[in-house]
Chains A and B, each alone.
Chain A
Amino acid sequence: MDKKRVKELSIIANKVRKNALTAVYSAASGHPGGSLSIADLLTLLYFEVMNVDPKNPKDENRDRFVLSKGHCAPALYGVLAEKGFFPVADIKGFRHIDSYLQGHPDMNKVPGVDMSTGSLGQGISVAGGMALAAKLDNKSYRVYSVLGDGELEEGQVWEQAMFAAHYKLDNLTAFVDNNGLQIDGDVSKVMNPNPIDEKFRAFGWHVIITDAHDFEKLLSAIEEAKATKGKPTVIIMKSVKGKNVSFMENNAGWHGSAPNKEQYEQAVSELDAKIAELEAMA
């Protein structure tokens, strides 16, 4: 990936972050922290990696995306809007009674959403089912899914880990948003899921550890996953919860609370400054 593309994606990712914050601020509820930590990944997937068409969101040959950590819908809606699945202006309706943008992703209401999620542990299983369907049909689409690191505490995740390896679902790529935090604090203190890499390896997965906020490294990890045959790949992304909003970074308190007006404006101005800085770059 050339520098120019990295810059473009960085700008889009910060717009996605702004959309996510606008959603949560408008709703006065929602999950900003984990949305900001996956904004770079979702931008990369939807703008560089996945074969998707906003004009034909149900194309049966499209790549699939399942947001297993469904509470981070603000980031998903943010990227889908930037990609043109629906108007960016609709983001303000997030969680409102008259909007289709439900608090958690809804496949029947929101264009571009491939699976309804929100109950942790289920999305990754559904992604496995989609990957199996592709195998049964000899189709070449790939399935991507993002798990939270706290979500790994759900037993069902490991049922699926066993399943995907058993059926050699090499068309499935899972990401762990390893931001180290869940609602009640540090994942290692609440219920330690570490070592995450060794667990997945023991279950028979190909494991890659990388930086959630470096497009080039992320892309090469995804390419490595594509080239890996006979087993599913998990990409453990070291991330910063609340990334790019100074007062939200690495703060569990911003897992599921909305900014007030002043905080929202400060967050937007920080992101606008980042965008301006990127745009000024050669």
Chain B
Amino acid sequence: MAKRATRESYGAALVKYGANENIVVLDADLSKSTKTDMFKAAYPDRFINMGIAESNMMCVAAGLAASGKIAFASTFAMFAAGRAFEQVRNSIGYTHLNVKIGATHAGISVGEDGASHQCLEDVALMRSIPGMVVINPADDIEAQLAVKAAIEHEGPVYMRFGRLAVEDVNSEDYQFELGKGVMLADGKDASIIATGLMVGEALKARELLKADGLDVRVINIHTIKPIDADIIEKAAKETGAIVTAEEHYIMGGLGSAVAEVVCATHPVPVKIIGTDRFGKSGKPAQLFEEYGLTAANIADKVKEAISLKR
């Protein structure tokens, strides 16, 4: 199976879909890491280095969008959603301008750089902005299609990409639809709803649970906002227990978004897997182990959720 980091997919997709003269890509001295250097090589006239000034970058992107451009603003998730939150909120969100935020290096899978660079709150922050679309793709194929969808969508989009190479979970003929969850495997005993690189772990957990005689549904939510309420409500009704998995704080991310839907439509037990503290330095695999972002932990939580069924 192919393995690629979604930040690379971002760079590749910008080149692939970047012929549109209206597209301008901004970066804040991280183009080698965010992979916008690929776009820079292909379309140097439409690449703008902003220097290390993320707040200014977000507002310049807003000004470009207000003048008819599709502005991609790229930096690490920590600085896009964190440092520049209020610029995104006021100059991009409130104005509903056509800015696409390419946020790479999200989550603890950043690894060795440690907590200062491991953004675990971006989904919560971005999700709270009215009108903001939030996408967290699971693999290369999905990440590239997310960029295409972002270009086609009119309005602000936050795209969350990772540093770590991840295996494909989707096939080449995969159809991406903004705002629509994808049932990757059906099941009746419980549902695992995952996003980003936890989708692969969710599929592995499903295999582990088979050994225990459990038949579990796996849903990939790439668009965390607007969330696909239908697929979640259906999962609650048909399987009666839900476990969510994401590389983000338990508070405010995918789990919260799913719980909001479940509470309002068809209440069933929901177990949320995510981080509960700052990250730290280490190899990504070690960090996943320590923070419980593993197939084994998902499988355990599925059993707990099933035990809570009424």
Contact = CB atoms under 8 A, between A and B. Distances in A.
Interface of A: 60, 64, 66, 107-108, 114-116, 118-119, 121-123, 125-134, 136-137, 155-156, 159-160, 162-163, 166-167
Interface in B64-106: 64-69, 71, 86-87, 90-91, 94-96
B64 A116 contact: no
A121 B55 CA distance: 9
Contact of B59 (A107, A129, A133, A162): A129
B271 to A, nearest CB: 39
10 contacts: A66-B63, A118-B90, A128-B60, A129-B61, A129-B62, A136-B24, A156-B55, A159-B56, A160-B56, A160-B60
A132 B51 contact: no
Nearest to A156: B55
A134 B58 CA distance: 18
Contacts of B55: 121-122, 125, 155-156, 159
A11 to B, nearest CB: 33
A114, A137, A156, A167, most chain B CB atoms within 10 A: A156
B69 A126 contact: no
B90 A163 contact: no
Given A125-B59, A132-B60, A159-B55, A107 B95 contact: yes
A183 to B, nearest CB: 19
Contact of B60 (A60, A114, A121, A163): A163
B285 interface: no
A12 B73 CA distance: 41
A126 B91 contact: yes
Interface in B14-64: 24, 45-46, 48, 50-51, 53, 55-56, 58-64
B66, B71, B87, B94, most chain A CB atoms within 10 A: B66
B53 A130 contact: no
B63 A130 contact: yes
Given A116-B90, A136-B45, A136-B69, 5 more contacts: A115-B95, A128-B59, A133-B68, A137-B67, A156-B53
Contacts of A108: 95-96
A81 to B, nearest CB: 22
6 A-B pairs with least C-beta separation: A129-B63, A125-B59, A133-B67, A159-B56, A129-B60, A159-B53
Contacts of A126: 59-60, 62-63, 66, 91
